């Protein structure tokens, strides 16, 4: 691993990653903003820094940041004594988002149980709702197992990275 950071290459490849996120359904600017913050040296950028780096309007950056905040892939902080917001991507942001989505699956399942109760046994709607509910319940259980395995794997990765940086 090289100790030298190539800022231009990092920006170029981060932009590619942002576009890949957009290709999978993300709003394009949200993908670009997330990638820019993720790949930044500190993992934190102001709206002005994002606008400048991405050559995007403040309004576009604001909308993208709000999307990331809603997904909990970024957080908003304020520097002590400062007046500007700083947007931060934590290194465990995907894990935190997955845990939030698992909570959403639980709420969706609760709501679908009510639909199921009134859909009429044996009807096509009952069948569709029951299959959907079963899928949500399956995902909920799988996420629990993934979470446990990720905690172990994360510790291994942290140890690998620490050893590489010695």
Tell me what the pLDDT averaged over the chain comes to: 89
Q: Alpha-carbon distance 50 to 54, whole Å? A: 6
Q: Tell me the whole-structure pTM to 2 decimals.
A: 0.73
Total Cβ atoms within 10 A of residue 85: 14
Contact (Cβ atoms closer than 8 angstroms) between residue 34 and residue 73? yes
Q: Across residues 107-125, what is the average pLDDT?
A: 90
Q: Alpha-carbon distance 53 to 149, whole Å? A: 37
Per residue in 13-63, pLDDT (tens digit) is: 999 999 999 998 899 999 999 999 999 988 899 999 999 999 999 999 999
Q: Which residues contact 98 (CB under 8 A, 6 or more apart)?
A: 143, 146, 147
């Amino acid at each position: 691993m090289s100790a030298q950071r190539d800022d231009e290459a990092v920006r170029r490849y981060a932009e590619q990653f942002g576009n890949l996120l957009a290709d999978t359904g993300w709003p394009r600017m949200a993908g670009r903003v997330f990638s820019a913050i993720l790949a930044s040296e500190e993992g934190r950028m102001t709206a002005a820094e994002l606008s400048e780096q991405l050559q995007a309007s403040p309004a576009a950056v604001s909308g993208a940041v709000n999307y990331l905040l809603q997904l909990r892939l970024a957080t908003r902080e304020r520097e002590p004594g400062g007046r500007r917001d700083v947007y931060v991507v934590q290194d465990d942001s995907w894990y935190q988002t997955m845990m939030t989505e698992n909570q959403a699956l639980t709420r969706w399942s609760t709501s679908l149980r009510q639909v199921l109760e009134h859909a009429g046994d044996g009807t096509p709607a009952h069948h569709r709702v029951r299959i959907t509910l079963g899928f949500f319940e399956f995902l909920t259980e799988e996420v629990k197992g993934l979470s446990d395995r990720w905690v172990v794997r994360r510790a291994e990765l942290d140890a690998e990275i620490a050893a590489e940086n010695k």
